[in-house]
């Protein structure tokens, strides 16, 4: 009788522990996909270096999966192996269009610029010194050019072809690493790439095998950076989703603050292995020349989806539909879901945008000779 009672109590305790451990374990871990070599995906590096997980997600285990391109971990997000990801609006829209596979939403506007982060047209260094970006774009006619297909840079390239009637001799689908190699080998004449690769290979902060000749401003093509999340993660684990957004906001504000610029570059360089600090600095803070279409501010961080951001996201979707890159004429109704970002912004006593970068001349680069 006593043995039966003891075993019964033990069984009850084990059952209770199992019941409590199951949901807690599931709630205490998630995975973030990010790109150490993409300018709108730098905040996870700062989050790790500042220890922000302990502040906003104590006891939660976060796995970081690094990649060179959003498409690399998009499949993992769709499969449920990654819950949070970063990318530009072009690959973000494509990912979020796959509703037959999974509900993925765009939740934070991590940056917004006049085409100076992800829409940078590069040419070989011996190309003419163009007086304006329109002239530069037309020079690409009959040339061999490249960009990573499905990226924000590809979007810019396609729109430029359409607006200026450019017909390249070849338009190659190449990764950013292959593009850099081909500029060194003089196998391509031009390419659209994003930061900090543009700075790494460029004449303003890098090895000088290419130069910036135009940016998205020539087309009024904005660069919009996004954080994406799985819908089931947002709906079922809102405390984790919100905690990560808090981490991201503090990291973004750290990167934006002028007194932290060098510290932020040092942190990011630990993860962007092989990327010169001079290139990371210029990609974030350097001023794009006016002759290439550079404007001020260089970038802002809206954080939430205001009317201008929504308009841009929808315009990109329209372009993608015409290019047969997304399957429906209209995006899913909840593709832009910033309700948690708005809560985080309000609780922090902040308004949108949470900051901006005006752009500093290349000769002020503190890492230029390092």
Q: How distant is the alpha carbon of residue 82 from its chain centre?
A: 16
pLDDT at 5: 36
Q: Phi/psi class of residue 111: alpha, beta or left (left: φ > 0; alpha: ψ in -120 to 50)?
A: beta
30-113+231-287+301-355 folds as D-Maltodextrin-Binding Protein; domain 2 (3.40.190)
Q: Which residue has the tokens 């990010």?
A: 34
Model pLDDT for residues 58-87, shown as the tens digit of each residue: 999 999 999 877 777 889 999 999 999 999
pLDDT interval class at 98 (50, 70, 90): very high
pLDDT interval class at 369 (50, 70, 90): low
Q: What is the DSSP letter of 303?
A: B
Closest CA to 116 of 265, 189, 219: 219
Q: Are 172 and 146 in contact (CB under 8 A)?
A: yes
pLDDT at 28: 85
Rounded mean pLDDT of 253-257? 98
Question: Angle CA(364)–CA(367)–CA(370) in degrees, nearest 5?
Answer: 140
CA atoms within a 13 Å half-sphere pointing along the CA-CB vector of 229: 25
Model pLDDT for residues 11-67, shown as the tens digit of each residue: 333 333 333 333 333 458 999 999 999 999 999 999 999 999 999 999 999 999 998
pLDDT at 317: 95
pLDDT at 152: 84
Higher-pLDDT residue of 20 and 216 is 216
Distances (CA, A) of 178 to 69, 148, 183, 279: 13, 10, 9, 18
Strand locations in 35-116, DSSP E? Answer: 61-66, 84-88, 104-113
Model pLDDT for residues 186-206, shown as the tens digit of each residue: 999 999 999 999 999 999 999
Residues 6+ apart with CB under 8 A from 149: 173
pLDDT at 301: 97
Distances (CA, A) of 306 to 221, 340, 351: 17, 14, 11
Q: Which two tokens stand for residue 301?
A: 């961080």
Evaluate if residue 223 carries a pLDDT over 70.
yes
Q: Domain segments of the chain: what residues?
A: 30-113+231-287+301-355
Residues 6+ apart with CB under 8 A from 369: none
Model-level pTM? 0.88
Q: In angstroms, rounded to a whole number, what is the distance separating the alpha carbons of residues 106 and 126?
A: 41
């Amino acid at each position: 009788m006593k043995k039966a009672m003891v075993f019964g109590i033990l069984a009850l305790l084990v059952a209770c522990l199992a019941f409590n451990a199951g949901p807690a374990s599931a709630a205490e871990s998630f995975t973030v996909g990010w790109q150490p070599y993409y300018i709108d995906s730098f905040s996870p590096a700062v989050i790790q270096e500042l220890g922000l997980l302990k502040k906003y997600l104590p006891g939660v285990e976060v796995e970081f999966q690094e990649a060179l391109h959003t498409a690399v971990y998009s499949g993992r997000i769709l499969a449920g192996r990654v819950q949070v990801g970063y990318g530009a609006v072009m690959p973000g829209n494509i990912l979020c269009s796959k509703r037959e596979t999974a509900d993925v939403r765009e939740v934070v506007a991590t940056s917004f610029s006049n085409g100076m982060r992800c829409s940078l047209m590069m040419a070989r260094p011996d190309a003419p010194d163009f007086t304006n970006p329109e002239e530069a774009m037309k020079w690409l006619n009959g040339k061999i050019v490249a960009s990573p297909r499905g990226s924000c840079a590809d979007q810019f390239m396609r729109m430029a072809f359409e607006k200026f009637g450019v017909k390249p001799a070849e338009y190659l689908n190449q990764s950013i690493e292959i593009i850099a190699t081909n500029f060194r080998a003089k196998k391509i004449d031009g390419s659209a790439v994003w930061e900090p690769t543009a700075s790494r290979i460029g004449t303003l902060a890098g090895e000088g095998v290419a130069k910036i000749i135009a940016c998205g401003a020539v087309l009024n093509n904005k660069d919009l950076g996004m954080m994406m999340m799985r819908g089931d993660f947002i709906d079922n684990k809102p405390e984790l989703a919100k905690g990560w957004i808090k981490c991201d906001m503090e990291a973004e504000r750290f990167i934006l603050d002028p007194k932290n610029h060098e510290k932020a570059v040092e942190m990011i360089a630990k993860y962007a292995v092989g990327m010169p600090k001079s290139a990371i600095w210029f990609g974030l803070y350097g001023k794009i020349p006016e002759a290439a279409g550079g404007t001020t501010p260089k970038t802002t961080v809206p954080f939430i989806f205001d009317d201008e951001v929504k308009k841009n996201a929808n315009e990109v979707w329209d372009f993608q539909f015409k290019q047969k890159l997304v399957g429906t004429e209209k995006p899913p109704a909840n593709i832009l879901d910033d309700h948690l970002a708005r809560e985080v912004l309000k609780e922090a006593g902040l308004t949108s945008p949470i900051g901006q970068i005006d752009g500093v001349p290349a000769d002020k680069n503190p890492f230029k000779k390092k």
